[in-house]
Amino acid sequence: MTTILVKDALRTSVEAASGGKQTVLYTPKGQPTFVNIIPKVSIESLNPALGISGVHPAFKQGDREIPYLYVGTYQGCVLDGEVLSLPNVDANACNASGETLIPLLKTMGSTWHGMTSVEWALIQAMAVKSGYCPLGADVYGKSPRDATQTGRRIDGKEAGDLSSQSPRIYTGSGPVSYRQDKKYNGISDLAGNVWERTYGARVVGGEIQLYGTGNEAALATSAVFGAHGADVPGWYAIHAVTGAFITPTHTGNTSTADYVATTPGSVRAVTQTTGLADNEFYHPAWGGTFVQPQNTLPEAVKNLLELYGVWPSRTGKAIIPPGSTVNYNPGATVCMHPVRGMNDIFQFGFANNTETVNTQMGLRPVYYAPLS
């Protein structure tokens, strides 16, 4: 069981230094893990431009609400069989697949999980409200947006040394510009260092699907996010006119590479630029986030998709930096899940599933107290 109430010197000092924005949790093996405390918040208080009200879906599971999310202050590292958020370490969770990492998180407690897509969307909404899009390190240990802003490379070379690429920087070693809200008590390295795998959204056969209507992905096992999990229950497509969550249908199968989405009226990415149906949209592969897809979807549906972090942000356009990109991978016939944030927090690409090991893709551990 994760310990969250007992005070000790480390927890007390972290809470005091951060003004109560951060704390330290202890795993079943007694290892500390550093987290930022995010209290339940409404959609309209963060991003009224979406025109949607109510509790942000990152804090909802069915009819229950999560009072606080404890988001890893740092990108995940694996230590003694647990996935931790620690300062000044290598974010080595990128050396394992989701099939390995998600079970390790669940051994720490049922509500430990890799950051979900809707939680990342919450971070995006917080950035829209604050007006700040954090910097982060590229493969040379410096920010591509400001080369004076650097972290400490794990290969020991100077940041900006172009003679070789560094796998990563040490977690939290960058300046305050690498932190959420540009404050030292903000979440670190949301941009750069490694891509972050997020769970609970996918594209299969071009169709955008979400797992549950809230943060149900936080409780899911790794099988839910596999390349061939098309028929796992709990996934929904989005109706292109009403924005309703609808049960997906298809012909063929991902295992035989002939999957075709057949859900009536569902939102779908396509590979062609002409002859788009009302439920279809086109965005070039790794095209700019600041460029809206070619589409005729209703404004309310695009706002809903942005709320869940699966549409290029329109409300955040003023702070989206150069180099931010989006990729829907519409031609894929297996389930593809998003990675996020190598350039900035608004960047995403459906380029991952739990079977994949990619040393450029890590994850961030998140916790909440089990709901009664």
pLDDT of residue 166: 76
pLDDT band at 372 (very low <50, low <70, confident <90, very high): confident
Contacts of residue 111, defined as CB under 8 A and 6 or more positions apart, other chains included, come to: 218, 219, 367, 368, 369, 370
pLDDT value at 1 more than 60: no
Q: What is the mean pLDDT of residues 143-160?
A: 95
**pLDDT per position as a tens digit, 65-93:** 999 999 999 999 999 999 999 999 999 99
What is the DSSP-derived secondary structure letter of residue 1?
-
Average pLDDT of the residues of the chain: 96
Determine the Cα–Cα distance for residues 175 and 148; give it in Å rounded to an integer: 10
Residues counted in the chain: 372
Contact between 40 and 60 under an 8 Å Cβ cutoff? The reply is no
Q: How far is CA 283 from CA 247, 290, 295, in A?
A: 24, 11, 9
Please provide residue 52's backbone torsions phi and psi, each rounded to the nearest 5 degrees.
-120, 135
How does 141-152 read in b/e, with b if 16+ C-beta sit within 10 Å?
Answer: bbbbbeeebbbb
Q: Compute the Cα dihedral for 243, 198, 51, 326 and give only its sign.
A: negative
**pLDDT per position as a tens digit, 225-271:** 999 999 999 999 999 999 999 999 999 999 999 999 999 999 999 99
The percent of residues above 70 in pLDDT, for the chain, comes to 98
Q: What is the mean pLDDT of residues 325-340?
A: 96
Spacing of C-alpha 99 from chain mean position = 17
Spacing of C-alpha 339 from chain mean position = 7
Encoded tokens for 242 = 């009403």
Amino acid present at 6 = V
Contact between 168 and 91 under an 8 Å Cβ cutoff? The reply is yes
**pLDDT per position as a tens digit, 107-142:** 999 999 999 999 999 999 999 999 999 999 999 999
pLDDT value at 162 more than 70: yes
Determine the Cα–Cα distance for residues 106 and 83; give it in Å rounded to an integer: 10
- Residues facing 142 on adjacent strands: 150
Contacts of residue 355, defined as CB under 8 A and 6 or more positions apart, other chains included, come to: 97, 98, 99, 226, 227
Enumerate the domain spans of the chain: 200-340
- Can you give the pTM of this predicted structure? 0.97
Encoded tokens for 352 = 């991952």
pLDDT value at 349 more than 70: yes
Q: Of 6-15, 29-38, 173-182, where does mean pLDDT reach its minimum? A: 6-15
Encoded tokens for 23 = 């704390």
Determine the Cα–Cα distance for residues 169 and 153; give it in Å rounded to an integer: 4
pLDDT of residue 3: 58
pLDDT of residue 167: 78
Q: What is the mean pLDDT of residues 137-158?
A: 95
Kindly tell me the burial class for residue 97, based on how many C-beta atoms sit within 10 Å of its own C-beta (0-12, 13-18, 19 or more): middle
Determine the Cα–Cα distance for residues 369 and 62; give it in Å rounded to an integer: 16
CB count in 10 Å sphere of residue 235: 23
**pLDDT per position as a tens digit, 283-307:** 999 999 999 999 999 999 999 999 9
pLDDT value at 186 more than 80: yes
